[in-house]
Amino acid sequence: MTENKENIIKVRKELLSKLKKKNVTFRRQNFWRFKRLKKTWRKPRGRTGKVRLKKGGRVPSPGPGYGNPSIIKHLHPSGYEEVYVSCSKDMAEIDAKTQAIRFNGTLGKKKKEVLLKDAEKAGIKVLNP
């Protein structure tokens, strides 16, 4: 069982590294024409908009083909699943092989120190120490 979990993380890391190379930046229609338009993506809504009509030679438009495989969706780049933790009860249910913890932003300094010690004892990876 543990070998299977380690293999899952290896596969996730490999897929993540491959997808970083394939990453497409979607840009706004006609961003090169006007200085006032930023490069950030906005859905084209014009009646005759060539990007909306998916004409050739235009900027790519987001669609189902650009989605990530389900095995790596919602993962941290390290290959672990992120689990938000705000108390020690939340850490009891974590699987150290496939999951890593991220502390909530509202946690205080004292409580974070206690949770860090507990995570070290359990061998759990902390994403934002």
pLDDT score at 114:
94
pLDDT score at 110:
94
Question: For residue range 37-94, what is the model confidence (pLDDT) as tens digits?
Answer: 999 999 999 999 999 999 999 999 988 888 777 777 788 888 889 999 998 898 888 9
What are the beta bridge partners of residue 81?
Answer: 75, 99
In terms of domains, do 56 and 29 share one? yes
The model's pTM is: 0.63
Owning domain of residue 47: 2-69
If one counts the domains in the chain, the total is 2
Q: In angstroms, rounded to a whole number, what is the distance separating the alpha carbons of residues 12 and 31? A: 35
Q: Which residues of 91-128 are buried (b: 16+ CB within 10 A; e: fewer)?
A: beebeeebebbbbeeebeeeebeebeeebeeeebeeee
In a domain, 30, yes or no: yes
pLDDT band with cut points at 50, 70 and 90 for residue 16: confident
Q: In angstroms, rounded to a whole number, what is the distance separating the alpha carbons of residues 125 and 41? A: 35
